[in-house]
Structure formats: C-alpha cells, structure tokens
Amino acid sequence: MNKSGNTPLFIDEFSKFDTPGQTWSWTGEGEIQIDDFDGNYRWLSNSVARDFGKVLNGSAKVYLTVRLRGRLPNETLVAVHHGNTWRIPGISNSQFGSYRFELMSTDDGELSVSVHFETRQHMVIESIMTKGPVP
C-alpha cells in the first residue's frame, strides 16, 4: 500500500473464463459458453475491457497476456490502452495461443484496457493475466 493506504503497488491477476457468468470484473459482449472446439467453457466475445482504476504507484510497465483463438483464420488482435493501440497479427483459429501486450499505467497509476479483433469477430478467450509492475 502507499502512504494513504488506498493504492496497491502491484497487480497480479489471473482470470480464467470457465464458469458461466463469471468474468472477473472484465466487461464485454458475448457470454461464457461451451466451445465446440474441445467442449470446454470459454468466453466468446467481440470485445472485452477492464478499468482497474488506480492500482499502481505511478507510471509502471504492465504485461497483459490473453490466451485465446479466433473463429476465423489470421485475425489481428488489437489492444487499446489510454489512447494507444497495439496490434498482433496472425491469430490462429485452429489452436489457442498466448499473446502479450506491454502496457504502461498513467503517471497517477491508472490502468485500463480493451481488447478485440480488428474484424470485430468473436474471440474465444480462455484466460487473461495482468501483471505489473514488471521490469
């Protein structure tokens, strides 16, 4: 905690989307349902977002790792964070992969992010991990 006792100095969160209705404070369209790919529950959503608020003590590097697959081949994964946009092309629809974005919290420690495919097609999300600060 900081001097005021209100703000944690780190974030270390793992959210697995395997229970219907449980999105671990992530928001988005779609729902957690059985994935025809292998019969496990996954979050099928066009877009997911999270506003963590002031979770860090000032500006810090944060890793956001999304484990997912597309429903169409060669999707481009997009993360929007404090007005900046990052893209990871070539997302598979035939196997799950983990994709990491390096984000920075604001000068006052705020962190928010949204993730979607460039085509706005459904993502099949297994989990999201957020960790920071990282070196």
* Token pair for 89: 């092309």
Give all strands (DSSP E) within 71-135, no chain letters.
75-81, 84-91, 97-104, 110-117, 123-132
The pTM is what?
0.91
Strands of 47-54's sheet in order across: 27-28, 47-54, 110-117, 75-81, 84-91
C-alpha span between 126 and 97 (Å, rounded):
10
Q: Quick one: pLDDT at residue 8?
A: 61
C-alpha span between 118 and 134 (Å, rounded):
27
User: Where do the structural domains in the chain lie, given as residue ranges?
Assistant: 11-132
Residue type, 9: L
Report the CATH fold assignment for 11-132. Jelly Rolls (2.60.120)
Instruction: Compute and round to an integer the Cα radius of gyration of the chain.
Output: 15
Each of the 135 residues of the chain gets a pLDDT tens digit; together they read: 444 455 568 999 999 999 999 999 999 989 999 999 999 999 999 999 999 999 999 999 999 999 999 999 999 999 999 989 999 999 999 999 999 999 999 999 999 999 999 999 999 999 999 999 999
